[in-house]
Amino acid sequence: MTLARRYDKIPLLRAGTPVLPRAGSFRRLDLKSHSFQEDDVIKEAIHEAENRMKAAVAALEDDLAGIRTGRATPALVEKLPIEYYGTPTPLLQLASISVPEPRQLLIKPFDPSSIKDIEKAIQTSELGLNPSNDGKQIRLNLPPLTEERRHELVKLVHHRLEEARISVRASRRDVIKDLREFEQEKLISEDELMRAEEDTQKLTDQYVEKINEVGEHKEKEILEV
C-alpha cells in the first residue's frame, strides 16, 4: 500500500514551490539553496517511516484475524469478499455476524437475495468450512482443529510474521538511505545522522517486538485446545 508522503512542516522553497517527496521514497527536491530546520527534515522522515511500520502491524493483525483458531469469531469471515451485484464487498457490510455457540457462526444477510452469493464465497474460500443455508441465514460449524492442522496454521502465522518484519525493515532501510543522502548533501551534520540512525533503529526494534507479540498471541489461540 502506498502511503501519502507528508512534509508539510518543511518550509516552502523561495520560489513558493512546496518541497515534495519523490513517489515511493522519502527523498526530496534539492534543498541546498534553502534555509530550513534540520530537525524538521529528520523528524518528518522518521515520522513517515513509523507510519509505514504502523501500517505493516495493522495489516498483519487484519491478516491473522482471518486465520481460524479453535473458537468461532466474527473476524474469521468479516472481510471475506462477496460478489454483490458485480462488486466485491466485505461480508461485514452485507450481514450481521454473531457467535451463538463457541464453535458456530451465524450469518444473517441484510438483503436475503445475497445469501447464495455469501454461501458460494464461503465454499470457495480457504476456510475449509461447509455453510448450512436455510434460506434466511447461514450457520458455520467449526470442527475442532486436529493437532496436525494446528501446526500447519502456526507455520502460516510464522510466515505472515516474517513478511511483516521484512516490511518494517524495508521502511528502516529507506529512511536510513535518505538520511545518509541528507548528510552527504550537507543538509544535516554527521552527528545528527548518527543520532537519527540510532532513533530509527530503536523504532524498528519497537515495531519488530510488536509483531512478535501479535504472533505469540495468535499462536497461543491456535494451540489452545
Label residue 106 by pLDDT band (50, 70, 90): very high
Per-residue model confidence as pLDDT tens digits over 40-87: 889 999 999 999 999 999 999 988 988 888 788 898 899 999 999 999
The answer to which of 45-49, 122-126, 170-174 has the lowest mean pLDDT is: 122-126
d(CA 93, CA 110): 9
38-65 helix and 190-223 helix, angle to the nearest 10 degrees: 10
This prediction has a pTM of: 0.70
Region 101-116: mean pLDDT is: 94
Three cell numbers at 153?
A: 496454521
Q: What is the pLDDT of residue 141?
A: 92
Domains in the chain, start-ordered, CATH in brackets?
38-65+148-223 (1.10.132.20), 74-143 (3.30.1360.40)
Region 184-190: mean pLDDT is: 90
Per-residue model confidence as pLDDT tens digits over 1-36: 333 333 333 333 333 333 334 334 444 434 444 444
Q: What is the pLDDT of residue 128?
A: 79
Region 177-184: mean pLDDT is: 93
The answer to which of 109-113, 185-189, 201-205, 215-219 has the lowest mean pLDDT is: 185-189
Residue 225 has pLDDT above 90, yes or no: no
Phi, psi (rounded to 5 degrees) for 100 = -70, -25
95-101 sheet: strands from edge to edge: 95-101, 104-109, 138-141, 131-133
Q: What is the pLDDT of residue 68?
A: 80
Q: What is the pLDDT of residue 58?
A: 95
DSSP one-letter code for 102: T
Tell me, letter by letter, the H, E, C secondary structure of 130-196. CEEECCCCEEEECCCCCHHHHHHHHHHHHHHHHHHHHHHHHHHHHHHHHHHHHHHCCCCCHHHHHHH
Q: What is the pLDDT of residue 21?
A: 41
Q: What is the pLDDT of residue 65?
A: 86
Q: What is the pLDDT of residue 107?
A: 96
- Identify the H or E element spanning 41: helix 38-65
Cα four-point dihedral sign 202, 206, 211, 212: positive
Residue 149 has pLDDT above 90, yes or no: no
Is pLDDT larger for residue 105 or for residue 34?
105
SS3 36: coil
Q: What is the pLDDT of residue 57?
A: 97
d(CA 57, CA 79): 17
Report yes or no: 215 and 157 within 8 Å, Cβ to Cβ: yes
SS3 12: coil
Is pLDDT larger for residue 202 or for residue 127?
202
